Structure 1
């Protein structure tokens, strides 16, 4: 006779969890800082037309659709051969910081078309370096911990750092830019000073995070060889990169949990990307204060920092899926209320933005903790070896979603008659149509996208019972 017992979960010490969460200083920095200032940098310092500025950011990010699945396949192959994804992450520590700085190093007086080309090439290469880090980083939770609730705790810690990092970059980035302007007397010096500061953080964070595999294995078990039995559930086969890449595309058809989760996250990334890129425009042209962007970020991030661990508590009580629905609903209502800026522009918006922050913590922590569940479920259902491919597709969806959110903003600005500036020639006021476009891109558009994200989210099939399956106890010895 045999009995069943709950599947044992693997936990990590606080120090190892902190090392893993440190990676959000890279993830959030590369999302938040370009999302906040890159289009504004192009339109208001380099005189690039809004539509072209949006195209530059979008097409550089479309590259992620191509490169991320390939990086994911290569990451799986590295893991099979070496039992580690560290080398690829360390390559990102070289490529990302260098080309991030180059992105914001366009010399003063460069013709707008040439400036757009410069930013496009540099940002595309920076995005490639980011992929080298981010794709292995996203698959780590499936390898570091097991169990539905254990992954929620790990990803809740990551989102606490995520929100703190967004505050650092969202508030500190513009502040560093202003310091640079005062030191060097030009916008060129301001943006370059900001980029160098961010790049230094990227390097340190990647070096810390890349050590997490070794630290985790040291407390769980010492692997006798690459892809050891400790990680046997998700260890990938040593297939060619081309085969792995094709497998990554095929899994969109074969894995309904991944397909619905990615569709939800992509749609919500569109909303978040558009709001992030629109923050500076709201501060400058709706509130009439360039420096109000820092206040708006504080109003967004402080509630998010408080809410991030609370979403983990809620998820353990009612499930990640129901919690995710609640977070999405809060975001929808809060974004919709921002249409009031058309009638009464003012600092009352810190209240709905605070609610957006509470919801944002949820729509980050919950799907990120659901992704390793999807990977583990797929390994059990279809066999191991696709963790990096899942992560590559996920990273491509996230980054292109954020980029297309910026594109939507750029299109709205162009249609509504937004006037571009240069460092030498400043626009004193925008037409009412442009103000209307800015407010719509900050309220109605993200609210609509959040409403659309309910469609795939309601079809997500996995629950806790599908992840923490009981395992048979050893059979009693026969007598």
Structure 2
């Protein structure tokens, strides 16, 4: 590995064998269509992000409260702390991947190395070598911290890649559509099957051990698929293996300066805040599935699996619909509509105790449709923000932006279960060390219900209001890129 070397006037000059920054990509690539193999290969990385983003949020809190006997408030902190650590680690991972130079490109080595490390540490979370008690809680906290760190070094390079794989505005949406389709499949498989694996493994600690190994296998599969599938060779004089930037110009600039540039990017700043809040809202639903099925629907065995199938299954079906909606209305308006569907559906679900099971499942399916659109358009708008910055500044800083993005997303996904756990604690939820949930009071059941319905509706609704500040359209992005091209041409002359 080697870093770029400084050139005249503090600029960064490309080294031999490297590729150009996105800002310098030939205009002919603006409308390119990536090979289907790349779509599928990149999307397979969502097996990793989907499994890690889903299973801890779904099962770690009940694992702590109903199997290891940890109090709900303490469990909330154990879930929140290690992922909050990623707020610090992710930007560092972004900068490191920006400076990386290998024959496999800047990002791909991390997909493989960090992916395998993530699988091993994930299985370790649920190994429970110390049984139940305080030692078990401390062990989970340490193992989860190691897992979150490995995930940062996978997720940040992975999210940075679309801005470098293609400069096409619509092609990024297609790439994200493939990614979110696989993400929905990963969530469906990991979220619906993981509880079933726990039950099939005998429940309690043995069942969770088998589940940890099952999810670790999904992670390895996704890491290998994304590493192999994103290898690209281009024949132009300005590109090589991955189509990644030859000069990550920002690598010679201090991290504080890079962070300041990202903060000054208004579209990115608004989008990031909205996505963090929405991630917290989505995570409260994930954290509450087992509790909602057990204490509201009285369906502890099949309830979590059916709820997950209703949440994620429709997402797979409506993904092509959201792509057409985005092409017709624009990414921002489509994002707003998806968020509105999610918020209204979650709020309506507060009536679940008075509804038949079928009606509850239909409402969850509506929430899943909104969730699919939220993910598609947020992740399709992120590369636009990165390209906008590259056009304005002449520097490629994808790793910095995605480091901040994944730090925010990870924090949001941790904040949701953390808040939900605190709601359980305040409402008087009783923990258990038997592997079976204890009988709960009326106030505890009310906490389970409100945390699963009203809380995510409020969070997503707040993010929807904040989205009004996002103003990066396709026309504005094209104008910025033309201005950047003209500026670089003038510098060459």
Structure 1 residue 202: Cα displacement? 0.8
- Paired with 1:296 and 1:227, the residues of 2 have a C-alpha distance of 43
Distance 1:82 1:238, change over 3 A: farther
Q: Which residue number in structure 2 is paired with residue 24 of structure 1?
A: 46
1:326-368 per-residue CA deviation (whole Å, 9 max, x = no partner) reads 0011111101101102444744211111111100000001010
TM-score (norm 1): 0.90
Distance 1:61 1:345, change over 3 A: farther
Is 1:130 aligned with 2:151? yes
Structure 1 residue 231: Cα displacement? 4.6
Q: Which residue number in structure 1 is paired with residue 73 of structure 2?
A: 51
1:284-326 per-residue CA deviation (whole Å, 9 max, x = no partner) reads 1111111211110111111100111211111111100010010
- Paired with 1:102 and 1:82, the residues of 2 have a C-alpha distance of 29
Contact kept in structure 2, 1:286 and 1:345, CA below 8 Å: no
Q: Which residue number in structure 2 is paired with residue 63 of structure 1?
A: 85
Q: Which residue number in structure 1 is paired with residue 31 of structure 2?
A: 9
SS of residue paired to 1:352: helix
- Paired with 1:56 and 1:337, the residues of 2 have a C-alpha distance of 31
Structure 1 residue 187: Cα displacement? 1.6
Structure 1 residue 443: Cα displacement? 1.0
Contact kept in structure 1, 2:250 and 2:395, CA below 8 Å: no
Is 1:445 aligned with 2:445? no
Contact kept in structure 2, 1:334 and 1:352, CA below 8 Å: yes
Structure 1 residue 80: Cα displacement? 9.0
SS of residue paired to 2:431: coil
Is 1:302 aligned with 2:313? yes
Structure 1 residue 108: Cα displacement? 6.4
Distance 1:221 1:456, change over 3 A: farther
Contact kept in structure 2, 1:53 and 1:410, CA below 8 Å: yes
Is 1:114 aligned with 2:128? no
Q: Aligned match of 2:235 in 221, 230, 246?
A: 221
The aligned runs of 1:239-258 (5 Å cut-off) are 239=251, 243-258=253-268
Structure 2: runs of 5 or more not aligned = 1-26
Is 1:94 aligned with 2:105? no
- Paired with 1:419 and 1:104, the residues of 2 have a C-alpha distance of 22
Contact kept in structure 2, 1:135 and 1:391, CA below 8 Å: yes
Is 1:463 aligned with 2:482? no
The aligned runs of 1:127-206 (5 Å cut-off) are 127-181=148-202, 187-206=204-223
Structure 1 residue 59: Cα displacement? 0.6
Structure 1 residue 239: Cα displacement? 3.1
Contact kept in structure 1, 2:41 and 2:230, CA below 8 Å: no
- Paired with 1:446 and 1:165, the residues of 2 have a C-alpha distance of 22
Moved over 4 A (4+): 79-82, 222-228, 469-475
- Paired with 1:330 and 1:79, the residues of 2 have a C-alpha distance of 43
1:438-478 per-residue CA deviation (whole Å, 9 max, x = no partner) reads 11011111111111102321101100112334859999xxx
Q: Aligned match of 2:291 in 281, 291, 309?
A: 281
Structure 1 residue 385: Cα displacement? 2.8
- Paired with 2:244 and 2:217, the residues of 1 have a C-alpha distance of 33
Structure 1 residue 205: Cα displacement? 1.1
- Paired with 1:102 and 1:461, the residues of 2 have a C-alpha distance of 44
Q: Aligned match of 1:42 in 64, 69, 76?
A: 64
Q: Aligned match of 1:237 in 237, 245, 249?
A: 249
1:9-49 per-residue CA deviation (whole Å, 9 max, x = no partner) reads 22111111100100000000001111110000000000000
Q: Aligned match of 2:227 in 205, 210, 214?
A: 210
- Paired with 2:314 and 2:115, the residues of 1 have a C-alpha distance of 31
Structure 1 residue 253: Cα displacement? 2.5
